[in-house]
Amino acid sequence: MQNLEDRTLVRGVATKLRAFIRSADGKKGRTPADLGVRRLPSTESNASRRIDDPEIEYRLACSRSDFLGAFELLQTRYLEAGLADCTAGACRIRMMPYHRWEQSQVFVAEAQERIVGTVTLVRDGRYDLPICDNYEREILAAREIGRVGEITSLAVDPVHPKPAEVFGQLTRILTFYARYHGMDFLAATVHPRHAKFYQHAMGFQVIGDEVQCRQVCGNPGVAVLGAVNDRSKYRRRWQDYYFDGVFPRSEMHPRPITADEHSYCHSLVDQANLYAKSTAGMGV
């Protein structure tokens, strides 16, 4: 149970977030409840595909190969960026505890039967959002205003000629999915140098101080929060990505990792751990 000091701090952060929401031009005094959740029309349309690279398919992960490809890409990119422990390099994949949760949805970009991008949305649910490890008060404050989801486990293969396009389309389908499932806000922990992009392009706001994140080997991170339903928050050039078009309802149904898929992926982690233990101190 929160003590009085915690509750006071949460209310203070919530007041700042409400001011952030009201700051949009032409929307003074409007809250997420006033803005409403933009539900997808019942008529299916190909409009959602109109800016897609024809060589890339963006979708919810739906098979063992999808999840394995996503987790392998995460491990590769995080190792290259110094965000994963190099002593764990023998492990082929980066699979976090929240990837097992039913409230988590992995998205992938596939080109020529290869996963070239991935991102995960964790919705508020049975388990707390991962971001709460470092920013519990800030997320509690956001919850006083609306429903929160978290963007995490983002990786794009740099060998692809259009990495920015892959990033844009992955976060696009994630945003449509979040909106369809009633999210009001998206939160993320990002490197401080990336925070300005989220602020300028997507209207996110920094809501927490810089911290050292143990999940990425102590690298720095800051919490950002953005409105899912307020088009005016987004820079004009990004508004088409995040608001125009329609995804078929069939593509918005949750598809969490199954027990069998998780068991297979987890077995790779176990094998890597056993190998690391067996070679410890042997100079291998």
pLDDT at 284: 43
Reduced to 3 states (helix: H, G, I; strand: E, B; else coil), residue 117 is: strand
- List, in order of start, the domains of the chain with CATH numbers: 4-262 (3.40.630.30)
pLDDT for the residue numbered 257: 98
Please, are residues 258 and 60 in contact by the beta-carbon 8 Å criterion? no
Find the helix or strand (DSSP H, E) in which 60 lies.
Answer: strand 57-60
Element housing 247 (H / E): none
62 and 175 Cβ atoms separated by less than 8 Å: no
82-87 contacts at long range (C-beta below 8 A, 24 or more positions apart): 82/217, 82/219, 83/216, 83/217, 83/219, 84/216, 84/217, 85/217, 87/276
Q: Do residues 56 and 232 make contact, with C-beta atoms less than 8 angstroms apart?
A: no
CA-CA distances (angstroms) from residue 111 to 29, 171, 174? 45, 17, 18
* Distinct helix (H) and strand (E) counts, the chain: 8, 8
Q: Whole-angstrom Cα distance, residue 45 to residue 116?
A: 25
Mean pLDDT, the chain cut into blocks of 10 residues (284 residues total): 53 61 42 31 35 75 97 94 72 92 98 95 93 96 96 92 89 96 97 92 94 92 96 90 90 96 88 54 47
Residues comprising the chain, all counted: 284
Confidence (pLDDT) at 31:
30
Structure confidence at residue 12 (pLDDT): 61
Distance CA 138, CA 131 (A): 10
Token pair, residue 244, equals 């125009």
Q: Tell me the C-alpha distance between 90 and 81, whole Å.
A: 16
